[in-house]
Amino acid sequence: MEKLIELLGRFKVGYIKDFLATINFLLLLVFALNINDLNKYKNYGLFLLIIFLCVDGYYSTNEEHHCINFGHNNPSYLLSASVVIILFLYIYTYLNV
């Protein structure tokens, strides 16, 4: 785990957040284009947008967090927690819908 933190510590938290957001939006776009009935997934999409909005809102209101290296600090914890929640939501959606 420390090796992963050391590897990610070379990057700024804001860069990692924006990179992961781009990947998520591309995945959601591909998913949305390949689904016949989007209404079935509406609640999951709204929950993801709320998570994205909260994380981006936190970083937007605290400009200095974009320039902090990934490590043992609150912006890194928020980013890590949101990634875990999003991954669990993707797995839950895949298994149950």
What's the pLDDT tens digit per position in 10-50?
778 888 888 888 888 888 888 888 888 878 888 888 888 89
Rounded to 5 degrees, φ, ψ at 69 are -70, 150
**By residue range, what is the domain housing residue 61?**
2-96
At residue 1, the pLDDT reads 65
**Maximal C-alpha separation, the chain:** 43
* CA 46 from centroid of its chain's CA atoms: 14
What is the C-alpha separation between 2 and 5, in angstroms, rounded? Answer: 5
The confidence score (pLDDT) of residue 84 equals 92
pLDDT bin (cut points 50, 70, 90) of residue 59 is: confident
Instruction: Give counts: helices (H), strands (E), the chain.
Output: 4, 0
Structurally, how many domains does the chain consist of? Answer: 1
The C-alpha atoms of residue 80 and residue 13 are separated, in whole angstroms, by: 10
What CA–CA distance (Å, rounded) separates 78 from 76?
5
- Each residue's pLDDT tens digit, 64-76: 877 888 888 888 8
Rounded CA gap, 51 and 65, in Å? 18
**What is the model's pTM?**
0.75
